[in-house]
Amino acid sequence: MSENGFKPRIVAFLCNWCSYTASDLAGTSRVKYSPRVRMIRVMCSGRVDPSFVLKAFALGADGVLIAGCHPGDCHYIEQNYKTMRRHAMLRYFLEQMGIQPERLRLVWASAAEGQYLAESIDQFVADVQKLGPLRWSGVWEDPWRREDAFDEIAAEHAEAMEVQA
Amino acid sequence: MNGEPKGKLALYWAASCGGCEIAVLAINERILDVDALFDIVFWPVAVDAKVHDVEKMADGSIDVCLFNGGIRTSEQEYMARLLRKKSKVLVAFGSCAHEGCIPGLANSTSRRRIFETVYHETPSTENTDHVEPQPSTAVPEGTLHLPVFYDTLRTLDQTVKVDYYLPGCPPEADRIWDAITAIVENNLPPPGSVIGAETTVCQECPRKRNEKKVKKFYRTWEIIPDEETCLLEQGLLCCGIATRAGCGARCPQVGSPCIGCYGPNEGIHDHGARMMAALASTIDSNDPEEIDRIIRDGIPDPVGSFYRFGLAASHLRRKKEAMIET
Amino acid sequence: MITSDETLRIGVYVCHCGSNIAGTVDVEALTKFAEGLPHVALARHYKYMCSDPGQELVKRDIVEFGLNRIVVAACSPNLHEATFRRAAEDAGLNRFLVQIANIREQVAWVTEDRQEALEKAESHLGAAVRRVARHVPLQRQFVRIVPRAMVVGGGIAGIQAALTLAEAGREVILVEREPSIGGHMAMFDKTFPTLDCAACILTPKMTAVKLHPNIKLLTYSTVESVEGSVGNFRIKVKRKPRYIDESLCVGCMQCIDGCAFTRAKFPNAFDQGLGLRKPVWIPFPQAVPPVPVVDPEVCLQIARGKCKQGCVEACGERNAFRFDQQERIEEYEVGAVVVATGFHAFDPSVISYYGYGKYPNVYTSLEVERLLNAGGPTSGKLVLRDGSTPKRVGIIHCVGSRDANYHAYCSRVCCMYALKLAHLVREKTEAEVYNCYIDIRAAGKGFEEFYNRVQNEGVQFVRGKVADITPAAGQGTSAEGGLVMKVDDTLLGSIREINVDMVILAVALEPQADANQVRRTFGISCSAEGFFLEKHPKLAPVNTANDGVLVAGACQGAKDIPDTVAQADAAAAKALALIDAGQIELEPNTAWIEEDICSGCKTCINLCPYQAIRADEERKIAVVDPALCKGCGTCVAACPSGAARQHLFGDEQISEELEGLMNYV
């Protein structure tokens, strides 16, 4: 279902200590990577509320990336394990909701891994490109020409009113 | 309402089970006080006023409209818009209007599947001609119209502006009375608010809470929970932690996990996301495979478990499914 | 106070950063875009926002145009967030009403396409504007710092750090796992390249530690747990029982003579097992404290409850023996910690072709150090297992280092200590010495000169990796006598077989076996090879990811004594700078609980690794201690009722940022 010219919109949540610093390092090292990723800095990947991920999809994101410190290396000791657990839960839920779980990716990137983070972003963008656009907000746009249906019933009632009047 | 002899009250029933209509009566003899304070100008289930009567009213002439049910058909949408126009205060009454409730859980399937089930597949259905309701049917006398059944159920506030919300499936009688009192005494919170508690069910739950660390989730038939400890700590998917208080923790008190009918707490948009966030955080494992196993073995239906009432109001609103239909 | 939307006046500043940003991002277009965003009162672009004139611009505008929110689109917030916060504060605006949009590291430097760069910059800037509108003023919070430091590890690094801190007048608690401080350096005979006697330069420092009134020395002790955070650590130390009261013992060692065991028969670990000791023992004569320790496993009194207790009798009226001593936990409050837990010498028995552990005359360098040391098991005589003096000695470099199968890194000290051993072996035995090396790395003050000296002394240098060690012909497999080193001499271009009667393996320095556990205890990270990770390899070489925890010595990476001492002083200076500040600013982004909303469900309590959240059972709510909270926000994301909130990273702020990102693509 990939489309020509599809430019994915991806939101990345980066933890301050490892992955955000890795993104800084990628910058300092002038590593070029896909510009399709928009970044949000959080202090810890453990701050990433599943609501943020769902909201990102609802707002039109085609993919969401969460990046944190490697397991065991969390700046906050063990909080990225909570991220790991929520990620597992979210993927499971997304599957059931008909969103390919591959649209949510968890990446562990240390402060030293600017290059790796850039590569992971490129890989993710490429994978989302293959999956095609998600266009989630279109999901609840009824194909039933809601407006027409409404106008019809309104007209019908107006007509009935006239008959009565 | 001071100075006026009586206010005007309307009640309406859209996509819901009707329980909310009964719940209004659960305020018992206080219904007489309601009658003393209000003229009930429209209440299809109890009062003989027609839609046309409402249509003829001046805009804003109804003081309060208690609207229960979500919006699934074009007729319901018409009624929602009509009552919005005619009412000063529109209250999303009960879980269906508030967040979609069980009718909204049908957003995890499609109109096509719903029709298949209802008109063809249920064992009690005999429909050899494969008849399905059609929006318009030509008959010798002209064209008959049925409301269009939408693919996605919307909550009331996804359809029209809502002034207040009264959560619950159904709202507890005392909470209904609190709301009526607040309306009568003009003691309402800022518009857009939920009239109710601002904390969650645990506040009202007498069970003892210790440590939330879950190694295995159980379904209700798998274990007999002990009578004193927090159900969630025993591995049952109790939604009380994330669900607005107001019910008196009825379910957990009798050993049945909260299913979340009062919806999310104040300021929270996505009820299920809160449950998933909290529950996943308490899983007692750091091993990705074990975590997956704990989740998948223990929670066979995450949407049904976490979004039983709030799917239509959630960020994602519905499941993505092929909706192509001609 | 929450500013209502109508009164919001946001100032947006787009930085060119010379051509660093402006070369890729159209800063004028970006500024124009910003002008159209909600609540933006003015938008400017400027060559260098972080310069004084750039900051002045912001300050002037705040005053002149009544700006109440500032967004700077520039480099990473890790670089100049503090700069612009301070500028805002100077102009009378709360410092937390500032947001940085990262358009350099995350846009200009990583994006090739100019249109894409502009779009991404717009998205980041729009998000920052949306976010800052939801910022609220915050008060800065400070806590007092405990003016005391702990040094963990009593090798040369720990000794040096402790002395520097103590001499500056600060209380220091020095914790050492072994019965004596001194570490590896105390095992050495001489030190390269000057050939100072290790004991001669180390012992005075050890004694100084013992005598210093500001140092509390806890030997035979380990750190059990660390709570709290920078400025206020609460550290539990486990004191293992010595079975001798340290305060009563005078170090006469008569108990060792008096012991029921007339002969030493247990291996002394300090001597690498080459020497023997009794159940009551002292690792080496200059041990500090000079207090013996009783080995409960082999002491007849403790293990069997039955002994004539010659030791107690020898101790006499000093009466220092305490056979009923128990392990105990002591708690210390300190403001800063220096971790100096040292290294572990690589165990070469895993390299089967070198035959260590199989051929008795294959030694590790550390074993040879003990043999050469006058205080060692042979009183400084270098002898083979059979007591004879070696005539031909092979020294193999890079054992476990620069080897993908073991450690890829260079251990930095092996070349030099192997040269030192070559010199000492020749000096003591006049044996023929063959140093087999890959490269000689002699980069250090006086190192190359020392290499030349050893060459001139007649040591044979063979450039090549030893492939195999086998018993010499006619020796059988036990090889009590001669060994053959097979080496590919890359300078000669041929395979050589060198007959020797002793092989010394110059083993690698590797992280301590329990380094991973230690780093978890102190909340610091490790590099890939397992050494403790400094905060920045160049600019913060002794700081760690955990503020207030500093590292020094070989636990941070293989290094020699001069480097270790320099780093130890650096760590001590950092610790001093920290605790002398008297107070420390808390993280602004702490969590807090909206008490009316909290239902006391206790979901959050277990999630905090800092025990910053506790359950108030009386009020049935959770309470966050802002002094302990480090601001990760994990509890906020987990809170099912929405009662847990976070300053600067609240749901409303992150959600707005997200909407901004998605709106302005």
CB contact under 8 A, A73 and C526: yes
At residue C251's C-alpha, the angle toward residues C248 and C254, to 5°, is 105
Verify that C68 and C116 share a domain, yes or no: yes
For residue C334, being part of any structural domain is answered with no
Minimal-distance CA residue of chain A relative to B303: A93
pLDDT tens figures, C238-251: 999 999 999 999 99
pLDDT of residue A4: 63
The SS3 assignment for C379 reads: coil
pLDDT tens figures, C189-231: 999 999 999 999 999 999 999 999 999 999 999 999 998 888 9
At residue C43's C-alpha, the angle toward residues C37 and C47, to 5°, is 135
CB contact under 8 A, C637 and A49: yes
Residue type, B132: E
Query: Is the model's pLDDT at A157 over the cut of 90?
Result: no
For residue A53, being part of any structural domain is answered with yes
| Burial (0-12, 13-18, 19+ Cβ within 10 Å), C238 | middle
CB contact under 8 A, C597 and B282: no
Distance between CA atoms of C154 and C479, rounded to whole angstroms? 39
* Closest approach of B324 to chain C, Cα-based (Å): 28
CB contact under 8 A, B316 and A97: yes
Predicted confidence band at C101 (pLDDT cuts at 50, 70, 90)? very high
Contact list in B for residue C642 (CB cut-off 8 A) is 264-268, 274
Query: Is the model's pLDDT at A144 over the cut of 90?
Result: no
Mean pLDDT, chain C, whole residue set: 94
Contact list in A for residue C120 (CB cut-off 8 A) is 35, 38
What count of CB pairs under 8 Å joins B to C? 78
Verify that C639 and C657 share a domain, yes or no: no
| Burial (0-12, 13-18, 19+ Cβ within 10 Å), B224 | exposed
CB contact under 8 A, A43 and C649: yes
Last residue of a domain, one of C479, C510, C541: C510
* Closest approach of C644 to chain A, Cα-based (Å): 11
Query: Is the model's pLDDT at C2 over the cut of 70?
Result: no
Domain of A155: which CATH number?
Answer: 3.40.50
DSSP C104: I
For residue C352, being part of any structural domain is answered with yes
pLDDT of residue C18: 96
Mean pLDDT, chain B, whole residue set: 93
Three-class SS string for C465-489?
A: CEEEEEECCCCCCCCCCCEEEEEEE
CB contact under 8 A, C606 and B274: no
Minimal-distance CA residue of chain C relative to B282: C603
For C652, other C-beta atoms within 10 Å of its C-beta total: 14
Residues 231-250 of B with CB under 8 A from C: 240-242, 245
What count of CB pairs under 8 Å joins A to B? 137
Does residue C231 belong to the interface with chain A, where contact is any CB pair within 8 Å? no
Closest partner residue to B198 among C597, C602, C603, by Cβ? C597
Verify that C19 and C121 share a domain, yes or no: yes
Distance between CA atoms of A105 and B174, rounded to whole angstroms? 46
Structure tokens at B288: 């990705």
For residue A1, being part of any structural domain is answered with no
Residues 576-595 of C with CB under 8 A from A: 589
Does residue A157 belong to the interface with chain B, where contact is any CB pair within 8 Å? yes
Query: Is the model's pLDDT at A51 over the cut of 70?
Result: yes
pLDDT tens figures, C392-429: 999 999 999 999 999 999 999 999 999 999 999 999 99
CB contact under 8 A, A84 and B292: no
In the numeric block, the tokens 């018993």 are attached to: C471
End-to-end CA distance of chain A: 55
* Closest approach of A60 to chain B, Cα-based (Å): 11
DSSP B83: H
Does residue C349 belong to the interface with chain B, where contact is any CB pair within 8 Å? no
- Identify the residue with better confidence: C477 or C58: C58
At residue A94's C-alpha, the angle toward residues A88 and A95, to 5°, is 95
Touching B (3+ Cβ pairs <8 A), the chains are A, C
Which of these ranges, B93-102, B216-225, C146-155, C531-540, has the smallest mean pLDDT? C531-540
Query: Is the model's pLDDT at C442 over the cut of 70?
Result: yes
Q: Can you name the residues that pair with B10 across neighbouring β-strands?
A: B42, B65
Contact list in C for residue A32 (CB cut-off 8 A) is 110-112
CB contact under 8 A, C658 and A56: yes
Residue B186 gets the label, from left (phi > 0), alpha (psi -120 to 50) or beta, of left
In this structure, are residues B148 and B73 in contact, taking their beta carbons and an 8 Å threshold? Answer: yes
CB contact under 8 A, A49 and C636: yes
| Beta strand segments in C208-351, E | 215-218, 221-229, 232-239, 266-267, 276-277, 280-281, 293-294, 328-334, 336-339, 343-345
Which of B269, B275, B213, B211 lies closest to B241, judged by CA?
A: B275
Last residue of a domain, one of C302, C318, C334: C318
CB contact under 8 A, B317 and A140: yes
Which of these ranges, B226-230, C169-173, C339-343, C608-612, has the smallest mean pLDDT? C608-612
Query: Is the model's pLDDT at B323 over the cut of 70?
Result: no
Domain of C16: which CATH number?
Answer: 3.40.50
| Residue range(s) of every CATH 3.40.50.700 domain in chain B | 7-102+151-184
* Closest approach of A115 to chain B, Cα-based (Å): 25
Indicate whether this model's pTM tops 0.90.
Answer: no
CB contact under 8 A, C641 and B242: yes
Closest partner residue to B265 among C597, C607, C634, by Cβ? C597
Distance between CA atoms of A77 and C522, rounded to whole angstroms? 9
Closest partner residue to A31 among C76, C110, C665, by Cβ? C110
Which of B54, B65, B55, B68 lies closest to B87, judged by CA?
A: B65
Distances (CA, A) of C593 to C596, C613, C636: 9, 9, 9
In this structure, are residues C39 and C133 in contact, taking their beta carbons and an 8 Å threshold? Answer: yes
CB contact under 8 A, B209 and C638: no
pLDDT tens figures, C24-64: 999 999 999 999 999 999 999 999 999 999 999 999 999 99
Distances (CA, A) of C328 to B196, B218, C222, C224: 54, 42, 11, 11
In this structure, are residues C390 and C502 in contact, taking their beta carbons and an 8 Å threshold? Answer: yes
For residue C94, being part of any structural domain is answered with yes
Pairing state between β C460-463 and C432-437? parallel
Closest partner residue to A35 among C117, C525, C649, by Cβ? C117
Q: Domain of residue A132: give its range.
A: 10-164
> Is the torsion defined by CA of A133, A134, A137, A143 positive or negative?
positive
Distance between CA atoms of C106 and C108, rounded to whole angstroms? 7
* Closest approach of A29 to chain B, Cα-based (Å): 32
Structure tokens at B276: 């998933």
For residue A5, being part of any structural domain is answered with no
For residue A2, being part of any structural domain is answered with no
Which of C378, C376, C374, C375 lies closest to C390, judged by CA?
A: C378
Distance between CA atoms of B51 and C216, rounded to whole angstroms? 88
- For every residue of A91-152, DSSP letters joined together read HHHHHHHT--GGGEEEEE--TT-HHHHHHHHHHHHHHHHHH----GGGGGS-TT-HHHHHHH
Share of chain C above pLDDT 70, in %: 98
Distance between CA atoms of C116 and A4, rounded to whole angstroms? 17
Mean pLDDT of C156-170: 98
Verify that C64 and C46 share a domain, yes or no: yes
* Closest approach of B160 to chain C, Cα-based (Å): 22
Asked if the B7-102+151-184 domain carries CATH number 3.40.50.700, the reply is yes
| Burial (0-12, 13-18, 19+ Cβ within 10 Å), C157 | buried
Contact list in B for residue A69 (CB cut-off 8 A) is none
Verify that C360 and C266 share a domain, yes or no: no
The SS3 assignment for A51 reads: helix
The SS3 assignment for C554 reads: helix
pLDDT tens figures, B198-255: 999 999 999 999 989 999 999 999 999 999 999 999 999 999 999 999 999 999 999 9
Predicted confidence band at A1 (pLDDT cuts at 50, 70, 90)? very low
Verify that C277 and C365 share a domain, yes or no: no
Contact list in B for residue A71 (CB cut-off 8 A) is 286
Does residue A102 belong to the interface with chain C, where contact is any CB pair within 8 Å? no
Query: Is the model's pLDDT at A3 over the cut of 70?
Result: no
CB contact under 8 A, B282 and C600: no
At residue A134's C-alpha, the angle toward residues B270 and B155, to 5°, is 35
* Closest approach of A164 to chain C, Cα-based (Å): 49
Closest partner residue to C598 among B199, B209, B210, by Cβ? B199
Domain of C347: which CATH number?
Answer: 3.50.50.60
Residues 27-56 of A with CB under 8 A from C: 27-28, 30-33, 35-36, 38-44, 46-52, 55-56
| Beta strand segments in chain B, E | 7-13, 38-42, 62-68, 71-73, 87-93, 136-139, 142-145, 149-154, 164-166
Distance between CA atoms of A60 and A36, rounded to whole angstroms? 13
CB contact under 8 A, C654 and A76: no
pLDDT of residue C538: 86
Domain of C637: which CATH number?
Answer: 3.30.70.20
Mean pLDDT, chain A, whole residue set: 91
Which of C249, C251, C261 lies closest to C284, judged by CA?
A: C251
Among A1, A76, A89, A104, the strongest candidate for a mutation testing the B interface, having the largest count of B CBs within 10 A, is: A89
Distance between CA atoms of C644 and A9, rounded to whole angstroms? 30
pLDDT of residue A2: 43
In this structure, are residues A100 and A66 in contact, taking their beta carbons and an 8 Å threshold? Answer: no
Three-class SS string for C360-374?
A: CCEEEHHHHHHHHCC
In this structure, are residues C150 and C332 in contact, taking their beta carbons and an 8 Å threshold? Answer: yes
Q: Total structural domains in chain A?
A: 1
Distance between CA atoms of B7 and B37, rounded to whole angstroms? 6
Touching A (3+ Cβ pairs <8 A), the chains are B, C
Query: Is the model's pLDDT at C134 over the cut of 90?
Result: yes
Q: What are phi and psi of B179, to 5 degrees?
A: -65, -45
Q: Domain of residue C423: give its range.
A: 343-510
DSSP A74: B
For residue C386, being part of any structural domain is answered with yes
DSSP B118: I
User: What residues contact C98, with CB distance under 8 A and at least 6 apart?
Assistant: C69, C70, C71, C72, C81, C84, C85, C88, C132, C135
Verify that C361 and C484 share a domain, yes or no: yes
CB contact under 8 A, C599 and B277: no
Structure tokens at B7: 């206010």
The SS3 assignment for C229 reads: strand
For B216, other C-beta atoms within 10 Å of its C-beta total: 13
The SS3 assignment for B251 reads: helix
Query: Is the model's pLDDT at B272 over the cut of 80?
Result: yes
> Is the torsion defined by CA of C475, C479, C482, C484 positive or negative?
positive
Distance between CA atoms of C482 and C361, rounded to whole angstroms? 9
For residue C238, being part of any structural domain is answered with no
Q: Total structural domains in chain C?
A: 4
pLDDT of residue C479: 45
pLDDT of residue C637: 98
Verify that C314 and C349 share a domain, yes or no: no
Q: What are phi and psi of C466, to 5 degrees?
A: -75, 125
Contact list in B for residue A90 (CB cut-off 8 A) is 276, 280
The SS3 assignment for C308 reads: coil
Query: Is the model's pLDDT at A32 over the cut of 50?
Result: yes
Verify that C31 and C134 share a domain, yes or no: yes
Instruction: Give the number of residues written for chain C.
Output: 665
Distance between CA atoms of B277 and C642, rounded to whole angstroms? 11
